[in-house]
Structure 1
Amino acid sequence: MPGQRPDETGPVGERRVRRPAVPPPTRQRPATPPPPVQHRTEQIDLSAGFPPVRHETSQIDLSGGLPGGLPIPPRRPRQGRRLGIDVGSVRVGVAISDPTGTLASPLETVRRARDESDLDHIAALVVEHEVTEVIVGEPRHLSGASGASAKEARAYSRALAGRIGPVPVHLVDERLSTVTAASSLRANGLDSRQQRPVIDQAAAVVILQAYLDAQRERS
């Protein structure tokens, strides 16, 4: 028909809808990469081998406290049961502490044996009660000098230490431990005859309790 544009009419006289043209996609410019970071390096001459390594330490005096006036925290006593040993020529008294290492109690009396089976038995007690330390009394004279009994106690402690591995064995001064034990048993109504089966355990209790008290005072 005259006056009409071909693109505005369709077949059978329908009007075409004119759609806007879709613009072509725009290309985005790639982002500019950051400049490379340069790390300064130095050339080391290793033709003569590596330079010697020096380990230098300095001693710090903490007698007046930690730097900045901070106090040194007190050392906490080690947790775990302790075993006390009173070494005699015929019998060995054994005492044990509670798990907190506060109170000593009698455990048993072990008879000495030539085949050293008494040492094996005490080593088994260490394992059974999960003992963390063994305390052996070292009998001394009132003057502080060592005699044959002290020598025997030291030899016994060395032999026991060889059987219990990493569990430490400590020797402590036990002057008058047997006298103190006998006085305590007598105060509880036991005469000398009744004391005989338990006097070694009681002496071991005195040795162990003195050690526990000293450790608690230090902490």
Structure 2
Amino acid sequence: MPDQHPDQTGPAGERPMQGRPAVPPSRPRATPPPQPPRPVHHATEQIDLRAGFPPVRHETAQIDLSGGLPGGLPIPPRPRRQGRRLGIDVGTVRVGVAISDPTGTLASPLETVQRARDESDLDRIAALVVEHEVTEVIVGEPRHLSGASGASAKEARAYSRALAGRIGSVPVHLVDERLSTVTAASSLRANGLDSRRQRPVIDQAAAVVILQAYLDAQRERS
């Protein structure tokens, strides 16, 4: 048996450590990636739609706001619609036309259109609506002083319906004009004009009276 130096021996039963490589440190374990959350399944009810969708009910509750908004808050005024308005005085021979300014405040005479069998007068008024970018048309509905409707009121309603069919989405409103012609003639006489010789002017002036009354009423409401 070869001689061994005491420094070359280890504890009983062990082999000499001299010349053996150092043990490398252990590698840390890799952290597994986070798993996505599992989807949550909600119970559903199967609906048979072969016969179509079931009827949909829209239930609303009516709230009385005549006394103001809850808490005493006042109801804000409805904003006035901007744009020119056209006033119409329908006669059996002529149609008086008036127009407002873009703010819908002041009415002015515009034109007198002759009635025609081929309804070219309606085409002319429709062209005025487009030319002046009118947002509303106001047609006077002549009534008796008692408020009853006569032949003239019936003619005005028929004329307004025919005009509405020519101007698309521009609304047409009928307003009471019992005394518009009388008021217009009195105004012309006060300015030294003979109303009997100025019938076309009276038609335009009557349209101004109709339109101005509507504009004033709208301004008071707003």
Give the structure-1-normalised TM-score: 0.79
Report the counterpart of residue 202 of structure 2 in structure 1.
199
Deviation, structure 1 residue 35:
7.0
Structure 2 unaligned regions, length at least 5: 1-23
CA distance in 2, matches of 1:178, 1:48: 64
Are residue 72 (structure 1) and residue 43 (structure 2) matched? no
Q: Is the 8 A contact 2:96 2:200 kept in 1?
A: no
Report the counterpart of residue 59 of structure 2 in structure 1.
57
Alignment of 1:180-195 (within 5 A): 180-193=183-196, 195=198
Alignment of 1:30-41 (within 5 A): 30=31, 33=34, 36-37=37-38, 39-41=40-42
Report the counterpart of residue 110 of structure 2 in structure 1.
107
Q: Is the 8 A contact 1:182 1:195 kept in 2?
A: no
Instruction: Give per-residue Cα distances to partners, 1:111-144, cap 9 Å, x unaligned.
Output: 1111111111001000101111111101111111
Are residue 169 (structure 1) and residue 169 (structure 2) matched? no
CA distance in 2, matches of 1:61, 1:171: 30
CA 54–170 in structure 1, closer or farther in 2 if over 3 Å, else same: closer
Give the structure-2-normalised TM-score: 0.78
Deviation, structure 1 residue 78:
1.2
Alignment of 1:1-219 (within 5 A): 27=28, 29-30=30-31, 33=34, 36-37=37-38, 39-46=40-47, 52=54, 54-63=56-65, 64-67=67-70, 69-193=72-196, 195-219=198-222
CA distance in 2, matches of 1:84, 1:211: 9
Percent identical pairs in the alignment equals 79
CA distance in 1, matches of 2:72, 2:122: 49
Q: SS at 2:215's partner residue?
A: helix
- One-letter amino acid matched to 2:62: I
**Cα RMSD (Å):** 2.7
Instruction: Give per-residue Cα distances to partners, 1:45-101, cap 9 Å, x unaligned.
Output: 447979946423122314244455543321111111110000111111000001111
